[in-house]
Amino acid sequence: MKIAALQMVSGTQREANLASARGLLEQAAQAGAELAVLPEYFVALGHQDTDKLALQETPGQGPVQDFLARAAQELGLWIVGGTLPMQSTDPERVYNTSLVYAPTGECVARYDKIHLFRFDNGHERYDESQRIAAGVAPVHFDLEARDGQRWRVGLSVCYDLRFPELYRAHARAGTDLMLVPSAFTHTTGAAHWELLLRARAVENLAYVLAPAQGGLHENGRRTWGHSLLVDPWGQVLDQRAEGPGLVLGTLDAERLRQVRNQLPALEHRVL
């Protein structure tokens, strides 16, 4: 099954970002992808954290959800909508949510980002907990490819990548592919991005697909990019450094079986 990670450099305006996302989704469909995954914050990277509050949606209602459902149906794609702000019980916070749409246009899974990024090196400061409510549970879904092969897909977002216990939970659930839509800062991405993604693939003997924000944004923030696809042996199959575009690759069920059979580390877990 061919899959695509969509790299973006989202601005502050939702409609412009959705138009950019639609163009990339069309490219993915034309390239033969069955699954296309957008990056974290594809809807908008605002001038300030409170901008998320104005864009929040309720389940089943809102322009971004309508956009994702329509694109999935019109393009015949499975689409994972990076993240969008979803209403929480706290009026000052939103969930940072990944929604999964089947080619029918039906929303089949929702994951709220569990781990909230905080970073302060004296020059850059981020604290997602100021405006984001944390999710509480891992989520995976099953995808049947056009050839009849069934894939189990685990959801995660950006900072989750630093917490291997989440990905181990996905492995225990039989996950074959792990998604990591992200907006890594340039500073942390240069240091840790590829290292962490390859580690999650190797230790869980699974494919990892990570679409990212990649470039200098309208609000002045610079993200690392380097969207990539990693196979279960830790090999990078495709990568894009910066700027909008696609990372494409093929999931190979026989390759996955081969790697798991020759090194059955998941069967050797003790703790």
Query: Catalytic positions, please?
Result: 40, 113, 158
CA angle 16, 156, 226 (to 5 degrees): 60
Query: How many alpha carbons lie under 13 Å from residue 61 in its C-beta half-sphere?
Result: 2
Interacting residues of 93 by C-beta distance below 8 A, sequence separation 6+: 130, 131, 132, 133
Query: How many alpha carbons lie under 13 Å from residue 230 in its C-beta half-sphere?
Result: 26
By the 8 A CB rule, do 219 and 17 touch? no
Q: How far apart are CA 77 and CA 158, in angstroms?
A: 23
As beta bridge partners, residue 246 has: 6
By the 8 A CB rule, do 110 and 100 touch? yes
CA distances from 252 to 31, 97, 176, 197 (A): 17, 28, 10, 19
- What H or E segment, with its residue span, contains residue 98? strand 94-101
By the 8 A CB rule, do 245 and 257 touch? no
Q: Please identify which residue in the block is written with the tokens 């944390």.
A: 134
3-state helix, strand, coil in the chain (%, to 5): 30, 30, 35
